[in-house]
Amino acid sequence: MTEIKLLLPWMLLWGLISILCIVAIIKAVSSILAIGGKKCPMCKSRVPKNAKICRYCQYKFEDN
In a domain, 19, yes or no: yes
Residue range of the domain that includes 25: 2-35
Question: Is residue 62 included in any domain, yes or no?
Answer: no
- pLDDT greater at residue 48 or residue 41: 41
Percent over 90 (pLDDT), the chain: 47
How many Å separate Cα 26 from the centre of its chain? 5
pTM, entire model? 0.48
Is 44 inside a domain boundary?
no
Do 61 and 51 form a contact (C-beta atoms < 8 A)?
yes
In a domain, 9, yes or no: yes
Tally of domains in the chain? 1
In a domain, 20, yes or no: yes
The answer as to whether 28 is a domain residue is yes
Q: Which pLDDT belongs to residue 16?
A: 96
